[in-house]
Structure formats: structure tokens, C-alpha cells
Amino acid sequence: MRRGILTRTGYGFMVLVLLIAGMTPRATSADGDPEHGKALFLKYCQGCHGPDGRGAAQTFMPHVDNLTRKGYIEKLADEYLYVVIAKGGAAVGKSGYMPAWEQRLQKQDIIDLIAFIRRLPTY
């Protein structure tokens, strides 16, 4: 449990440092196009997160986070999601199996992905 608290604190600190350094855009999911984000999600993300964001790849180890879990995704800032997508899971202390997409996706693409993720229903 203690590790979880420290890790969450580390996430916030990492996002703050990246924001101050100007490495993440100031745009939010409200600036994104969720329809374009959906197309990108289905192309790049559904293999692990499933087409509905529920982490359908249960045979994948470690298990992929369910992006629709109530009380989880809505607590994560857009800037944090941006860092996870752009820099990969290891950048925020999560699984290194989550790849960094910044070489393949433009900043606006990542913002569009976040806009789509924000529209997924939570369970």
C-alpha cells in the first residue's frame, strides 16, 4: 500500500515537472476530436485495451488497465494521460509494456485519443 501512495505522488510530481518544462501541450481533452481519437484508438490501442477500453486482452501479462473503471480514469488529469501515451507507461511508473507513441502520433492525435477515452462509459 505504501508503494501505491508514493507512486501516485510520483505521478503528480512527474506531470508537474513535465508541464513546467513545457513537454506536454496545454490543450485538454475538450480541445480534441473524439471521432478521430476513436479511429486512432481502434488502430493503435484496442489490441491491449480492447475496442471498448475495458482491457480485453486478459491473456496479456501484466494485465492491461481497464480505462473504463469508475473511480479511476476520471481522476487522472489530461496531462497525465498525455504523458502516459506520449512517453509510455514506464515514464510514470507503470508497466513498460505500454509503449511510447510520441514518435508515431502527433500532439493533436494524442489529444484526440484523450478526448475519445474521456467519452468511454465508466463501469
The pTM score is 0.77
Task: With a cut of 50, say whether residue 6 has pLDDT above it.
Answer: no
pLDDT of res. 67: 93
The angle formed by the CA atoms of residues 44, 83 and 3, to the nearest 5 degrees, is 110
Could you tell me the domains of the chain? 2-119 (1.10.760.10)
pLDDT of res. 5: 42
pLDDT of res. 60: 64
pLDDT of res. 29: 79
Task: With a cut of 80, say whether residue 12 has pLDDT above it.
Answer: no
pLDDT in tens, 79-119: 999 999 999 999 999 888 899 999 999 999 999 999 999 99
What is the DSSP code string of 89-106? GGGGTS-TTS---TTTS-
Question: Which amino acid is located at 108 in the chain?
Answer: Q
pLDDT of res. 20: 43
Half-sphere exposure of 16 (CA within 13 A, CB side): 6
